[in-house]
Amino acid sequence: MIKQDRLVEEFMELVQVDSETGHEEEIAEVLKKKFSDLGLTVVEDDSKARTGHGAGNLIVTMQGTPGVQAPKLFFTCHMDTVAPGKGIKPTLGADGWITSDGTTILGSDDKAGIAVLFEAIKVIQEQNIEHGQIQFVITAGEESGLLGARCMDPKYLDAELGYAIDSNGEIGAIAVAAPTQAKIKMKIFGKSAHAGVNPEDGISAIQVASKAIARMKLGRLDHETTANIGKFAGGGATNVVCDYVELDAEARSIVQDKVGRQIEHMREALESAVQECGATCEFISEIVYPAFNFDENDDVVKLAQRAIANIGLTSRTFHSGGGSDANIFNGMGVPTVNLALGYENIHTTKERIRAADMAKAAEMVISIIRETTK
């Protein structure tokens, strides 16, 4: 059923098209032609006008088999890669692993997912497998903070259940939960003075910031929640009391309300320190993407588990510590989980993926589609 050699050839072709995040124009054209040649309807949205990236998101629709009643599905992958991703030279080793030449990433994150979807589509057409309507949403700018998905109009999404093909882990692993993320910027305004002549007339923004941070609960707060200060910047000459500091921070949790409480805790810590020292501040927070949290009683999980069992694998659910496009699409109201693809060492020049795992992932996608028609 699955033609592994064809799948590998497709993957290797895709990774040799440069598409570092922000520069998706060439890969988008390649993908539009490939989907169109398979007879699917392809729409590129207008999100690039807002993202500034090389392409918009591709929303591809495969009409259902006439007369078949099945829930509408969508599968999503992203077309962009991290750097260094120019001039990728993939190689299939005798051990079955596909790697780059070591000077670049490989791009299996997430072009392996795209290649898997192409193979699944071809097999469905060749085998006349009955199916309901299926969308394939290929996003731009995922590696730039899920930017493409965040700028996609929900009107394009016409599905009841969704699956991202973009997670680490062995085939059969299902990320059923992932955290929301809040980006936080704190600005502290002190008062400059000569550090050797009249330091008592100054207000050190560095000291104020340090007091505020000391009052904040940071790191792993519980099994669902984390917070971190990633950047502390300010100051200059040692003979001047520092009058300005900026802090960049984040908070994450798979429980949306917990992030809200952590944001308020950090705000209160900052404002109390500022007030005590006679300084002023600005506190700016933004929810970058929402959390999602499913369990084995949810339809989107049960369907994947049955499909995985049907291809002879054991499913495993887990909670991810990072966000993905699945977070965004859950926020649009479509239950979506993230399925493992088997790649390893992503975002490094040691990235690799097994050809056999890609073939198994294609089987999994087809099995999910078959399962909806039973």
pLDDT tens-place string over residues 279-316: 999 999 999 999 999 999 999 999 999 999 999 999 99
CA 239 to chain centre: 45
Pairing verdict, β 316-319 and 173-178: parallel
pLDDT digits 0-9 by tens, 201-232: 999 999 999 999 999 999 999 999 999 999 99
Return the amino acid letter for 349. T
**Chain-wide mean pLDDT for the chain?**
97
Residue 49 buriedness (CB in 10 A; 0-12 / 13-18 / 19+): exposed
The β-bridge partners of 225 are 222, 253
- In which band, very low, low, confident or very high, does the pLDDT at 181 lie, cut at 50, 70 and 90? very high
pLDDT higher than threshold 90 for residue 276: yes
- Region 37-64: mean pLDDT is 98
Return the amino acid letter for 33. K
Residue 302 buriedness (CB in 10 A; 0-12 / 13-18 / 19+): middle
User: What confidence score (pLDDT) does residue 104 get?
Assistant: 98
For residues 359 and 366, what is the distance between their CA atoms, to the nearest angstrom?
11
- In which band, very low, low, confident or very high, does the pLDDT at 159 lie, cut at 50, 70 and 90? very high
Pairing verdict, β 73-78 and 134-139: parallel
Q: What sign results for the dihedral spanned by CA atoms 224, 262, 321, 300?
A: positive
Q: Angle 151-152-153 (CA atoms, 0-180°, nearest 5)?
A: 115
pLDDT higher than threshold 90 for residue 356: yes
**Helix, coil or strand: residue 249:** strand
- Report the residue count for the chain: 374
- Region 112-121: mean pLDDT is 98
For residues 1 and 14, what is the distance between their CA atoms, to the nearest angstrom?
22
For residues 182 and 6, what is the distance between their CA atoms, to the nearest angstrom?
42
pLDDT higher than threshold 90 for residue 348: yes
Domain ranges (residues) in the chain: 4-178+292-372, 180-289
- In which band, very low, low, confident or very high, does the pLDDT at 165 lie, cut at 50, 70 and 90? very high
- In which band, very low, low, confident or very high, does the pLDDT at 113 lie, cut at 50, 70 and 90? very high
The number of C-alpha atoms within 13 Å of 55 and in the hemisphere containing its C-beta is: 25
Instruction: For the chain, give the percent of residues with pLDDT over 90.
Output: 99
pLDDT higher than threshold 90 for residue 7: yes
Q: Which residues are catalytic?
A: 80, 142
User: What confidence score (pLDDT) does residue 38 get?
Assistant: 98
User: What confidence score (pLDDT) does residue 226 get?
Assistant: 96
CATH label, 4-178+292-372, candidates 3.40.630.10, 3.10.620.30, 3.30.300.30, 3.30.70.2190: 3.40.630.10
- In which band, very low, low, confident or very high, does the pLDDT at 70 lie, cut at 50, 70 and 90? very high
374: Cβ contacts below 8 Å, ≥ 6 apart? none
> Does the domain spanning 180-289 belong to CATH 3.50.50.60?
no
Q: Angle 206-210-213 (CA atoms, 0-180°, nearest 5)?
A: 140
User: What confidence score (pLDDT) does residue 1 get?
Assistant: 86
Phi/psi at 107 (5° precision): 95, 15
User: What confidence score (pLDDT) does residue 55 get?
Assistant: 98
Instruction: For the chain, give the percent of residues with pLDDT over 70.
Output: 100
DSSP one-letter code for 242: -
pLDDT higher than threshold 90 for residue 250: yes
Helices 108-127 + 355-372 axis angle, to 10: 50
- Region 182-207: mean pLDDT is 98
b/e per residue 129-150 (b: at least 16 CB within 10 A) = ebbbbbbbbbbbbbbbebbbbb
Pairing verdict, β 161-167 and 336-340: parallel
User: What confidence score (pLDDT) does residue 183 get?
Assistant: 97
pLDDT digits 0-9 by tens, 89-103: 999 999 999 999 999
